[in-house]
Amino acid sequence: MKKTIKYVILVVIAILVVVVLGLFFLFHDELSTLNSVKEVNGYPMYEMTYKNDYGLDKLLKKGASNDQELVQFASKQLLKGLPLKIDIPKVACTTFSATTPNGQHLFGRNFDLEYSPSMVVKTAPKDGYKSISMVDLKFLGLDKQAMNHFSDKVISLAAPYIPFDGINEKGVSAAVLWVPDKVTNQQTGKPDITTSVAIRMILDKAKDTNQAIALLKKYDMHASADGCYHFQLNDAKGHSAVVEYENNKMSVIPQTGNHQVLTNFYETPGSKYHHGIGFDRYNVANDHLNQSHGIETEKQGLQLLNDVHDGPHMPYKDDDPTQWTVLYNNSKKTMTVVTGANFKKQYHYHVN
């Protein structure tokens, strides 16, 4: 009898070991990714080093014409079928390109929206470029306390598919900004992508601004959250451009002077030229860069972003408070981050 009990116990232990080992090998990359998550500050901002394959090529081949199709793909590819909700916001932001006195190229961005935690996501896909990007965790349904729970932390595995701005190892940076207009929904027969997938694609696939634009031209754009958005791009040679989708037609506005500024109105010449909001922020940034001839040190670039950030004491009443500020150095492939407009505390990252 004792031998039988001992045998049964050994069999149960052996089965448990096999199950545990099986789960470990099945979810090894996911667990490694989750183990890399750490809280950077109390705002909070987190950082994650992504270890597993998020299947961008598979998604680009399959296509996603709306947020629900992206959710279905991410749930299956990244979360092993766990339920997921992605809700991309209407973001009132400011971006600009400039050059340092020694010829390095800069790209600045304020992300203006109601409060939410953020995450710096580091990716290194086998078939793409390394990058670092900024993610708003609220749009994965995660609040200030959610990352304290493992079950909620698992949802952050979908983070690579909701970047709002970022830079890759080639020095290409990209950011998305909202335009108050009817939803973008191109129907030309090309493969489908959504707003956030476009940012992911640019970071993974583009070696310069021209290639980023060429990639966008290959796809039908479907704006997330029933909205309308435009993009600003920059690269290591200082080639900046704005990409818009007025009336579902893609247009490109290249930088023509020594800088380029974008907020939340159309810059494409035509019937909707200057339709939107954010003229006050645009004028402050553009006037400053005109006076400096587009020459800014990194410190001055951050100060300019401080000058146009939004908050209770700022004059920009059409916007939400600034959740993060980022200054990218496209030449050095670096990123300086500020959260909650606390410019006294800066966090520095390098694409390596």
What is the model's pLDDT at position 260?
A: 98
What is the model's pLDDT at position 21?
A: 37
What is the model's pLDDT at position 231?
A: 98
Q: Is the Cβ–Cβ distance between 307 and 315 less than 8 Å? A: no
Q: Nearest 5°: phi and psi at 242?
A: -105, 135
Question: What token pair was written down for 42?
Answer: 């109390």
Is residue 18 in a domain?
A: no
Is residue 320 in a domain?
A: yes
Is residue 133 in a domain?
A: yes
Is residue 8 in a domain?
A: no
CA nearest to 57, candidates 234, 242, 215: 215
Q: Nearest 5°: phi and psi at 43?
A: -60, -45
* Spans of the chain below 50 pLDDT: 8, 11-12, 14-26, 312-313, 316, 318
CA 212 to chain centre: 15
Q: How far apart are CA 120 and CA 111, in angstroms?
A: 14
| CATH code of the domain containing 159 | 3.60.60.10
Question: What token pair was written down for 71?
Answer: 């959710």
Is residue 127 in a domain?
A: yes
Q: Is the Cβ–Cβ distance between 155 and 79 less than 8 Å? A: yes
The pTM of the full predicted model, rounded to 2 decimals, is 0.90
Residue-number span of the structural domain to which 68 is assigned:
37-350
Q: How far is CA 11 from CA 5, 43, 125, 338, in A?
A: 10, 49, 40, 55
Is residue 308 in a domain?
A: yes
Is residue 3 in a domain?
A: no
How confident is the model over 155-213, as pLDDT tens digits? 999 999 999 999 999 999 999 999 999 999 999 999 999 999 999 999 999 999 999 99
What is the model's pLDDT at position 148?
A: 81
Total domains in the chain come to 1
Is residue 20 in a domain?
A: no
What is the model's pLDDT at position 308?
A: 95
